[in-house]
Amino acid sequence: MRRRELILGALSAALWGRAGAAPPGQDSQPECDVLVIGSGLAGLSAAVSAREAGAGSVVVLERERFVGGHSALANGYFAAERRKGRKESEYRAAVQQMIDDINQTGKGRGDPELVRVLAEESGEAVEWLSGMGVVWMEHTYEALGGLRPRCYLSSFVRAGYDYVSAVNLRARELGVTIRFSATVQRVERDGKGGFLVHYITGVEPKVFHARSVVIASGGFGDNPQMRRRYDPRLGLEFTSTANPYGESHNTALGDGIRIGESLGAATVDMDQILSIPYSGGRLTNYVGADIYVNAQGERFVNEAAPMEEISKALWALPERSFWVITDSQSAKGATRDVKLIKGIVKTADTIEQAAQGMGIKPQVLKATMKRYNEAADRGEDPDFGRKTFTQRIDKPPFYYGRERPFVHFCNGGLRIDAKGELLDAQGAVIPGVFAAGEVTGGVHGHGRLGGASLSDCVVFGRRAGRSAWEYARAGR
């Protein structure tokens, strides 16, 4: 059984039959204070935060038969700057550096207020998850495209699952109702400040009367028709990093964006779809332990650069693919065995054998590896400016595999303010409707800081949940 099936099955089993969770077809409350669409990390964070703030009834509608969405399948790097153990001046400097890094990777196109909130409240998000039982590894790490080692991680193999599980457990403890196989068709106003949420379970149409709504249904990376509308390059032949080999379930279909637009919401940065080469031959989930070479066996990019920069360099290669090499010293991710079994990654006892397997001249690859290891020894890369090296690559067996673009993240989506309120094209608030997570746009800009997507889910999920309850309470 594949890892993602185990994860999704475990999450589903953990929910069904427990207090607060309603399996498909079981009647639940016809009314609620806060209704959340989607049960990924953003949606669950919104639901829990609404209850913690005082909401009497919170309902989550989930299209799938399990919670988690893409969040449960994520490597789990969680970019954050914590106040704990730091002088105030050190903490403020670190937060400002995170703001600067978000602006660098996003080319300064993120909404300044949203960027500030994400950086300032990222540490609180870590503490919030800690309070639910998430145990962090001893060190922080530099995520792919993360620029600095600021990412918290609970495990090298299933961290996203850990976070979803913790918040899901808290939701059950608080009595949040989760309805599975519930596909939301439309949301309309009831004329009294609330909403009628029309959804289907199986073939049966149903309606929830909600005082406020949070849209947290994810991006549209799994919807090729929608992708191609905004980036014609990303056709049917491209898969997502959440389902790279087309063997599992696609959950990021963009339906929440459609719902938001039907209520008058504007969208922003919809053409900023991040495609990255990290679901093929790469075995490590952190920066510093592998090298990228082109078809000639030469480096062509700083492997620690922002994801958008690496993606741009990849798309510029004639073959739109490259080789990744690491060795026995590096910490491998959860996909190692599957990739070896499938032949996506192969091993070699020498660099010459690896070169032969890649169809590269051995003398060229040997020269490239020699120069790379010299840079690793110095901690200085004269060719591409890389600064993060965790090791030399010189201990067999060597692991090598081909990488190509995979759709990873949609920077664009529904336009929101710092409270998570939906905004229209003129910037006016759409009362009672909120959003969080990858369904939103404007947070990251034209690129994304590595590790910041899960931080985004928790920070703005919490804000949207609290704001939704404030709106519902005011209208009671």
Sequential pLDDT tens for the chain (476 residues): 344 444 445 454 444 433 344 444 444 447 999 999 999 999 999 999 999 999 999 999 999 999 999 999 898 999 999 999 999 999 999 999 999 999 999 999 999 999 999 999 999 999 999 999 999 999 999 998 899 999 999 998 889 999 999 999 999 999 999 999 999 999 999 999 999 999 999 889 999 999 999 999 999 999 999 999 999 998 888 888 887 777 677 789 999 999 999 999 999 999 999 988 877 888 998 889 999 999 999 999 999 998 889 999 999 999 999 999 999 999 998 789 889 999 999 999 999 999 999 999 999 999 999 999 999 999 999 999 999 999 999 999 999 999 998 999 999 999 999 999 999 999 999 999 999 999 999 999 999 999 999 999 999 999 999 999 999 999 86
What residue has token string 């693919």? 321
CA angle in degrees (0–180, nearest 5) for 331-410-314 = 60
Work out the number of other CB atoms within 10 angstroms of the CB of residue 160: 26
Beta strands in 181-259 (DSSP E): 182-189, 195-201, 204-215
At 354, list the tokens.
């690896």
User: What sign for the dihedral angle of Cα 186, 463, 443, 310?
Assistant: negative
In angstroms, how far is CA 95 from the centroid of its own chain? 21
3-state secondary structure of 433: strand
- Burial classification of residue 212, based on how many CB atoms lie within 10 Å of its CB (0-12 exposed, 13-18 middle, 19 or more buried): buried
Per DSSP, the residues of 6-43 read HHHHHHHHHHTTSTTEE-TT----SEEEEEEE--SHHH
Distance set, CA 382 to CA 126, 147, 299, 306, 400 (Å): 36, 18, 12, 18, 24
CA distance 329 to 398: 9
Strand 58-61 to strand 177-179: parallel, antiparallel, or no bridges (unpaired)?
A: parallel
- Which pLDDT does position 371 carry in this prediction? 98
User: What sign for the dihedral angle of Cα 148, 154, 157, 163?
Assistant: negative
Residues in the chain: 476
Ramachandran angles phi, psi of 172, nearest 5°: -65, -40
At 181, list the tokens.
């196989």
At 269, list the tokens.
């940065």
In order of their start, the domains of the chain are 1-274+410-476 (3.50.50.60), 278-404 (3.90.700.10)
3-state secondary structure of 370: helix
CA distance 72 to 166: 11
Instruction: Identify the helix (H) or strand (E) that includes residue 430.
Output: strand 429-435
Closest to 401 in 3D by CA, of 322, 300, 288, 305: 322
Helix %, strand %, coil % of the chain (to 5):
35, 20, 45
- Which pLDDT does position 201 carry in this prediction? 92
CA distance 236 to 206: 33
At 70, list the tokens.
């893409």
CA distance 139 to 144: 16
CA distance 98 to 82: 11
First-to-last C-alpha distance (Å) of the chain: 49
- Burial classification of residue 132, based on how many CB atoms lie within 10 Å of its CB (0-12 exposed, 13-18 middle, 19 or more buried): middle
Strand 267-268 to strand 291-293: parallel, antiparallel, or no bridges (unpaired)?
A: unpaired
Beta-bridged to residue 440, according to DSSP, are 414
Omega of the bond leading into 382 within 30 degrees of 0 (cis): no
At 38, list the tokens.
């989607």
- Burial classification of residue 284, based on how many CB atoms lie within 10 Å of its CB (0-12 exposed, 13-18 middle, 19 or more buried): buried
- Which pLDDT does position 277 carry in this prediction? 83
CA distance 6 to 347: 27
User: What sign for the dihedral angle of Cα 166, 172, 177, 179?
Assistant: positive
CA distance 137 to 119: 21
CB 348 within 8 A of CB 395: no
CB 393 within 8 A of CB 289: yes
Strand 429-435 to strand 204-215: parallel, antiparallel, or no bridges (unpaired)?
A: parallel
Work out the number of other CB atoms within 10 angstroms of the CB of residue 426: 6
What residue has token string 């961290």? 159
Identity at 421, one-letter amino acid code: E
What residue has token string 């949940």? 465
